[in-house]
Structure 1
Amino acid sequence: MKVAIIHEWLESYAGSERVVEQLLEIWPDADLFAVCDVLPDTERGFLRGRPVRTSFIQRLPFARRHFRKYLGLMPIAVEQFDLAGYDLVVSSNHAVAKGVITGPGQLHVSYVHSPMRYAWDLQHQYLRQAGLERGPMSLYTRWLLHRMRHWDRSSAAGVDSIVANSRYIAERVEKVWRRPAAVIHPPVDVEGFPLGEAREGHYLIAARMVPYKRVELVVEAFRAMPQRRLVVCGDGPGAALVRQAAAGVPNITLRGRVPQDELVRLTRTARAFVYAAEEDFGIGMVEAQACGTPLIAYGRGGSRDIVRPETGILFPEQSTAAIAAAVERFEALSPAIDPAACRANALRFSAATFRERFRRHVEGLLAECAAA
């Protein structure tokens, strides 16, 4: 069986690339396609020397640094991949990968990290953050996103089976594409986050500091709880806002971006991991659970698939009052939360579990095709 794996773009070894890594474990002889490949040499190990077949965007001016500016050309680019002769096509999609063209006798399964959020429900937020609320560029961007929405929905019709990475994403797929989706959670390196035993009493938040992560909300909540110690790890465009919220507060420690071994140590020794973002899934929350660390998380998005009553607490809204109330509720319930239960919960999201579930899903589809 000839297999093709289609990925959007290869820029860094992050969450969606970890999915590609496991797909290549399932089908080690598969051919890999991407709109463009700008992975640094230091992060290419998961490809194991495998060549990447790229689109014409790879050769356009300044594409290595500014390939996202060619978003309007990406639907055309992905449609140019010649996939004739492949029995199975698996796309890893958060923008355009699912738009590859397949024909009769080919099975196309798309693993969806998210529909294009900046083209759908987050368009207005994207325009505000990009400074594109007015002017000629705003008009062009709105037109482009309008075109992308039409293409995004029409290209979804060419996929034989859609697999979402959480129930939340399955709901979004149903909303924007009017298609059902199976749910298979993404692979998490639970072995890299071993169970911790000695707790040092601090609460922890570790996240890239971008607006939707709402790190500043967590910091503001702990300003009002001087008896609770918070450690903040991460960096990004919103770091100044976080520093401003934490200024002069002795119970809050900003660590910035820390090495991986230090992040693991801080997670293993934390009293709880606090998370205020509405995530598509939330790999960081699973990593905390793997360490036996309870969760205090916003109750929308992927957290609903991760947090169980015996492993953490969900709070109902993104506000300092809701976070502070959840921390106090956790303090009352914490003796009943067993680190071993948190660890067992995290194992549901291991790489081996992902491979087994995804392989079974595809084999079932192939059997149905053969019987038809």
Structure 2
Amino acid sequence: MKVVLLHDWLTGFRGGERVLEVFCELFPDAPLYTLIYKEGSTSPMIENRVIHTSFLNSIPGVHKHYRKLLPLFPKAAEGLKIIEEADLVLSSSHCVIKGVKKPADSVHISYIHSPMRYLYDQYDVYFGADAPFYQRLGAKVFKNYLVNWDLDSNANVDVPIANAEFVRKRIQKYYGIDSGVIHPFVDLEDFKSTQENPPEKEDYYVMVTAFAPNKRVDLAIKTFNKMKKRLKIIGSGQQEEYLKSISGDTIEFLGNVSREEVIEGFAKAKALIFPGVEDFGITPLESMASGTPVIAYKIGGVLETLTDDVAEFFHEQTEEELQRAVLSFEKRDIDQSVLYKRASEFSKEVFKKKILDLIETTMRNKGKTDA
């Protein structure tokens, strides 16, 4: 079977790239089409193949400022022409890549991490009063164009698959189409050593996140400033300068660190702070696989992975509510074996099997249709 892979951009290695990495493991010879590619930013499994990029990749400084070019993304996707023969196009999409035109007689399965959240339910989070004026103006001017293009691009997808029930409902709401659900995974092999030899807990909380508006890192910082409790933050992103400017002495920014350091950061923390609205959220699974509970905003995809046994929830995105949840958590004693067991229910092996079963069923049905 001839397979072509699609992914929005390759500028870091987070949840979406972990899913893409599995696609690359399943189809090691498949070429990959993406808008932007920063060499060395992902994993060897992803990068060890033919990678085609859009015209955006030739713009100086694009790897750092690509989010400012959102109005150009549709044209960049349309400009990507798949030159290889393909039976199957498999996309990992959260923005525009599902809009790349598939070759004739091929089938396009799109694993949708999210409809473009900054165009729909989280528009005000990204382009509200706190956003720079030029971003608010640009969003207002281009929103209708982007939404209409996004809706039209769904005609290029034969089989949409949501990464969570929460996302499936959003696909139905905003796209008016039905989709299946295959949850992402936690790579349990990465956490085997930590589970066998758990380190001593230390007096700090942790966040592992991109510095994007929907992650609500600002809420965590303001709350921990007020409580004078230690918070270590692993990651980087567009809000980094602002977030550092509002941080007090108990907030520590670790930047982008190695996989081993991330796991160590999880394992030694008292809890993971997860205050944003996530479509699914692999990070809480990784925290639990490290033996660390989660303090999470009770909405969205986390409701499909977290339970009261492994997490402390808060119900409003306010400093008062997050503080209440932290103080409530500190009165609890959550057994690590419960955390390990919950994480194991979302294994990489289960994900692979479900993806392969979907592909087999889809291609078999295509054969019947062609016949």
Query: Do these two structures clear the TM 0.5 threshold for a shared fold by scoring above it?
Result: yes
**Does structure 2 retain, via aligned residues, the 8 Å contact 1:35–1:55?**
yes
1:266 Cα deviation from its structure 2 partner: 3.2
- Tell me what 1:155 maps to: 153
- 213-222 vs 340-349, which moves further: 213-222
- Tell me what 1:85 maps to: 85
- 200-209 vs 352-361, which moves further: 200-209
Cα distance in 2, alignment partners of residues 308 and 76 from structure 1: 42
- Tell me what 2:319 maps to: 320
Q: Report the secondary structure of 2:330's partner residue.
A: helix
**Does structure 2 retain, via aligned residues, the 8 Å contact 1:211–1:238?**
no
- Tell me what 1:277 maps to: 276
Cα distance in 1, alignment partners of residues 231 and 61 from structure 2: 39
Amino acid at match of 2:21: E
Cα deviation 1:298-344 (Å, max 9, x = unaligned): 11122112212221122111112222222233234x33x22112112
Q: Report the secondary structure of 2:118's partner residue.
A: coil
Cα distance in 2, alignment partners of residues 29 and 133 from structure 1: 40
- Tell me what 1:347 maps to: 344
**Does structure 1 retain, via aligned residues, the 8 Å contact 2:28–2:49?**
no
1:275 Cα deviation from its structure 2 partner: 1.6
Amino acid at match of 2:268: T
- The answer on 1:172 being equivalent to 2:170 is yes
**Does structure 1 retain, via aligned residues, the 8 Å contact 2:230–2:251?**
yes
Alignment gaps of 5+ in structure 2: none
**Does structure 2 retain, via aligned residues, the 8 Å contact 1:188–1:349?**
yes
**Aligned residue pairs: how many?**
359
Q: Report the secondary structure of 2:32's partner residue.
A: strand
- Tell me what 2:360 maps to: 363
Cα distance in 1, alignment partners of residues 256 and 65 from structure 2: 27
- Pair 1:51–1:298, CA change in 2 (3 A): same
Matches within 5 A, 1:27-176: 27-37=27-37, 39-41=38-40, 43=42, 45-47=44-46, 49-59=48-58, 67-68=66-67, 70-80=69-79, 81-82=81-82, 85-102=85-102, 105-128=105-128, 129-132=131-134, 138=137, 141-176=139-174
**Does structure 1 retain, via aligned residues, the 8 Å contact 2:280–2:302?**
yes
Cα distance in 1, alignment partners of residues 302 and 343 from structure 2: 12
Cα deviation 1:148-201 (Å, max 9, x = unaligned): 100101111331111122222222211111112222222433333332353234
Q: Report the secondary structure of 1:246's partner residue.
A: coil
Cα distance in 2, alignment partners of residues 207 and 231 from structure 1: 13
**Does structure 2 retain, via aligned residues, the 8 Å contact 1:216–1:242?**
no
Cα distance in 1, alignment partners of residues 253 and 65 from structure 2: 30
Taking structure 1 as the reference length, the TM-score comes to 0.84
- Pair 1:243–1:197, CA change in 2 (3 A): same
1:23 Cα deviation from its structure 2 partner: 0.4
**Does structure 1 retain, via aligned residues, the 8 Å contact 2:314–2:321?**
yes
- The answer on 1:20 being equivalent to 2:20 is yes
1:93 Cα deviation from its structure 2 partner: 1.0
- The answer on 1:181 being equivalent to 2:183 is no
Amino acid at match of 2:24: L
Cα distance in 2, alignment partners of residues 72 and 244 from structure 1: 30
**Does structure 2 retain, via aligned residues, the 8 Å contact 1:219–1:242?**
no
Cα distance in 2, alignment partners of residues 179 and 111 from structure 1: 14
1:7 Cα deviation from its structure 2 partner: 1.6
| Larger gyration radius, structure 1 or structure 2 | 1
- Pair 1:338–1:31, CA change in 2 (3 A): same
- 206-215 vs 15-24, which moves further: 206-215
**Does structure 2 retain, via aligned residues, the 8 Å contact 1:165–1:183?**
yes
Q: Report the secondary structure of 1:265's partner residue.
A: helix
Matches within 5 A, 1:262-273: 262-273=261-272
**Does structure 1 retain, via aligned residues, the 8 Å contact 2:220–2:275?**
yes
- 253-262 vs 59-68, which moves further: 59-68
Amino acid at match of 1:323: L
Alignment gaps of 5+ in structure 1: none
- Tell me what 2:232 maps to: 232
Matches within 5 A, 1:160-309: 160-193=158-191, 194-195=194-195, 196=198, 198-222=200-224, 225=227, 229-234=229-234, 237-238=239-240, 240-241=242-243, 244=246, 246-247=248-249, 252-257=250-255, 259-260=257-258, 261-309=260-308
- Pair 1:202–1:85, CA change in 2 (3 A): closer
1:365 Cα deviation from its structure 2 partner: 1.7
**Does structure 2 retain, via aligned residues, the 8 Å contact 1:201–1:271?**
yes
Amino acid at match of 1:214: R
1:127 Cα deviation from its structure 2 partner: 3.3
